[in-house]
């Protein structure tokens, strides 16, 4: 099977602070991969390198077959990235936000109109596209942010805490959308602090202080550490590594 993401000894230093410390991973095409870790472990920094937004200090990597040093522009065109912070223009409506992102991706006007209609339909956004993004409840804003990340039909989608602060009912609906994308062959690389969501992933990695300390199927990790669930497994692992400082 082809690989969507391959990284080896990937490192990012900011001054004398090592944010990402020689991490290695392989994510298969069409996989839902959970990229977990403690707060400040370096997940967002790693994702930004994978998305071609930040140059690594050392190590190697490719995303969708493109090199993360030399082919960042091609990476940006072939992936979707939903960042932790709201990427939406608060005073623009949903439609205007979609139109703006579509233009950034240089999607021809007629195609863009069609894709906007499709996404509005599949994500159930139709009631909300005429309202300023800033006035939408968080759950809908996140769906709109997802729509902007999907406009150019990316093969690989990076989602950085897409469901933070969303209630359990809405989170489940959001994940139904993600499953549908995965069924259609999109690779999903997602960070979350909700361990029930992490259990929905095919494989997960756990990051702590810049390093990846475990990779595997959620059920295998739970069994390996002899814990009742993933939440306890996560806590055990991070505690073993010496707190979260």
Partner 1 sequence: MSIVEVSNLYKTYGPFEAVDNFSFSANKGEILSLVGPDGAGKTSIFRAVCGLIKYDSGQIKIASFDVSRDFEKIKPLLGYMPQTFSLYPDLSVEENLYFYAGLFGLKRQQFDEKKKLLYQFSGLGPFHNRHAGALSGGMKQKLALSCALVHDPEVFVLDEPTTGVDPLSRRQFWDILKNLRAEGSAIIVSTPYIDELELSDRVIFIYRGSKMAEGTPGELVQKFVGQVYQLDLLPTSERMQQLNKIEGITSRRFGASVHIYTRGSHTIEEYHDDLRRIGIDPDLITPVQPELEDTFIQFMGN
Binding site for partner 1 (CB under 8 A): 37-41, 44, 84-85, 137-139, 161, 164-172, 175, 179-180, 182-183, 193-196, 199-200, 218-219, 229-231, 234-235, 238-239, 243-245
Ramachandran class of 233: left when φ > 0, alpha when ψ lies in -120 to 50, beta otherwise? alpha
Helices (H), ranges, the chain: 43-50, 72-78, 94-104, 109-122, 138-150, 168-183, 195-199, 218-224, 230-240
What radius of gyration, in Å, describes the C-alpha atoms of the chain? Answer: 18
List Cβ<8 Å contacts ≥24 apart for 75-79. Answer: 75/50, 75/51, 76/51, 76/52, 77/105, 77/152, 78/154, 78/155, 78/156, 79/51, 79/52, 79/154, 79/155, 79/156, 79/157, 79/158
Distance in Å, CB of 172 to partner 1, minimum: 7
Q: The tokens of 224 are what?
A: 């390996």
**How many residues appear in the chain?**
245
Query: Which residue's CB is nearer to partner 1, number 9 or number 180?
Result: 180
Distance in Å, CB of 169 to partner 1, minimum: 5
Query: Which residue's CB is nearer to partner 1, number 85 or number 110?
Result: 85
Query: Which residue's CB is nearer to partner 1, number 40 or number 65?
Result: 40
Query: Which residue's CB is nearer to partner 1, number 78 or number 192?
Result: 192
Distance in Å, CB of 19 to partner 1, minimum: 10
Distance in Å, CB of 103 to partner 1, minimum: 28
Query: Which residue's CB is nearer to partner 1, number 69 or number 86?
Result: 86
Query: Which residue's CB is nearer to partner 1, number 107 or number 221?
Result: 221
Q: Which has the closest alpha carbon to 101: 139, 134, 50, 149?
A: 149
Distance in Å, CB of 120 to partner 1, minimum: 20
Distance in Å, CB of 117 to partner 1, minimum: 24
């Amino acid at each position: 099977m082809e690989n969507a993401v391959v990284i080896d000894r990937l490192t990012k230093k900011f001054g004398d602070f090592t944010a990402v410390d020689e991490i290695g991973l392989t994510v298969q095409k069409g996989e839902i991969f959970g990229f977990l870790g403690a707060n400040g472990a370096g997940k967002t920094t790693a994702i930004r390198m994978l998305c071609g937004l930040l140059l690594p200090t050392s190590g190697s990597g490719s995303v969708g077959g493109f090199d993360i040093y030399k082919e960042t522009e091609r990476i940006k065109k072939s992936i979707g990235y939903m960042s932790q912070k709201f990427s939406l223009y608060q005073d623009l409506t949903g439609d205007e936000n979609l139109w703006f992102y579509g233009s950034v991706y240089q999607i021809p006007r007629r195609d863009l109109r069609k894709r906007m209609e499709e996404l509005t339909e599949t994500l159930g956004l139709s009631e909300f596209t005429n309202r300023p993004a800033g006035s939408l409840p968080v759950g809908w804003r996140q769906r709109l942010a997802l729509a902007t990340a999907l406009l150019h039909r990316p093969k690989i989608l990076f989602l950085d805490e897409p469901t933070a602060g969303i209630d359990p009912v809405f989170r489940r609906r959001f994940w139904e959308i993600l499953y549908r994308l995965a069924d259609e062959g999109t690779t999903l690389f997602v960070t979350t602090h909700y361990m029930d969501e992490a259990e929905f992933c095919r494989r997960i990695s756990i990051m702590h202080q810049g390093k990846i300390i475990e990779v595997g199927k959620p059920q295998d990790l739970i069994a390996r550490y002899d814990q009742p669930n993933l939440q306890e497994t996560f806590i055990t692992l991070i505690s073993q590594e010496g707190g979260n400082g």
